[in-house]
Amino acid sequence: MASPAVPPMHRDLDFNGPLSDERAARLIHSLGPLKGHHVVDLGCGWAELLLRTLSTEPTATGFGIDLGEENIRHGRVGATARGLADRVELEVGDAGEWRGEPCDVVFNVGATHVWGGDPVTHTGNALTALADLTRSGGRALFGECYWKRPPTEEEITAMAVVPRDQYRSLPDLVDFALSHGFRLYSLSEATVDEWDHFENGNAWSVEDWIRDNPRSPDFEEVIRRTDTHRRLRLHGRDVLGFAYLPLLRA
């Protein structure tokens, strides 16, 4: 299916993930003093967290990369509107292929899949890349799913697209992160309310498209994808968490 013209998620959402304004501000604070620092966001979406970070420190610079052209277009509009265009570069591209010198701050939030491979390797691939790309004494902000409790067979079957071994418990996720050469600076997890806000905003744009395009050749496929995602959302509600780990590079 060619991409149907579903309205972009940023129509209804500030972040492409379960993140409130308050938590975003706390996460930015957890990055420490940013004077003169360079912040890289791999899989930045429309770069809202990166732009908010740069807005807190006039000497900080940033770079964000995402495969989504519309995401980057919207991010650039936001950068210009906030007077950040001369301090941030937003690029359409494959973050998994991006190479650079180790920098002060690196984000990878909800985007471990950018390095490709089997889903069960995504967390490890991301942490290995973050360790390579964060300078000693720098910080990485890692956002990843975890199991709040072991999922039942029925939940795994109903969620359909999530292999059990893709995620860990929260303590195991933290230990796994630390085994890649980091210290845990702080820990924060998305609430069910943040998830609902994110998933509702995601659903509205698709449901509006479904309402308005009953004769589209993409109609059945969009319905199928949307129903699959709704099952994941509902059967994962009690079991799938999302953690934000501000990490210190040893």
Look up residue 236 and give its amino acid. G
CA distance 50 to 39: 7
Helix axes 122-133, 170-178, angle to 10 degrees: 40
Q: Is 133 in the site for ligand SAM (CB under 6 A)?
A: no
Span from 62-70, 126-134, 155-163, 190-198 in contact with ligand SAM (CB under 6 A): 62-70
Binding status of residue 126 toward ligand SAM by CB under 6 A: no
| Helix, strand, or coil (residue 135) | strand
Q: What is the rounded distance in angstroms from the CA atom of residue 27 to the CA atom of residue 109?
A: 12
Which of 18, 62, 78, 96 binds ligand SAM (CB under 6 A)? It is 96
Q: Segment near ligand SAM (CB under 6 A), from 40-48, 148-156, 159-167, 212-220? A: 40-48
Among 54, 84, 95, 106, binds ligand SAM (CB under 6 A): 95
Stretches 22-30, 41-49, 213-221, 227-235: which one binds ligand SAM (CB under 6 A)?
Answer: 41-49
Q: Which of 115, 111, 112 minimizes the C-alpha distance to 96? A: 115
- Work out whether 112 is an interface residue with ligand SAM (CB under 6 A): no
Under the criterion CB under 6 A, does residue 8 sit at the interface with ligand SAM?
A: no
Which range, of 107-115, 132-140, 152-160, 197-205, touches ligand SAM by CB under 6 A?
A: 107-115
Residue 66 makes contact with ligand SAM by CB under 6 A: yes
- Interior CA angle at 159 toward 112 and 144, to 5°? 25
Rg (CA), the chain: 18
Between 48 and 104, name the residue whose CB sits nearer to ligand SAM: 48
Residue 190 near residue 242 (C-beta atoms within 8 A)? yes
Nearer to ligand SAM, 46 or 209 (CB): 46
Tokens standing for residue 32: 């420490």
Which residue, among 50, 46, 13, has the nearest Cα to 28 in the 3D structure?
50
- Kindly tell me which of 117 and 217 has the beta carbon lying closer to ligand SAM: 117
Are the C-beta atoms of residues 122 and 56 closer than 8 Å to each other? Answer: no
Q: Which residues bind ligand SAM (CB under 6 A)?
A: 15-17, 43-45, 65-68, 71, 94-96, 109-111, 113-114
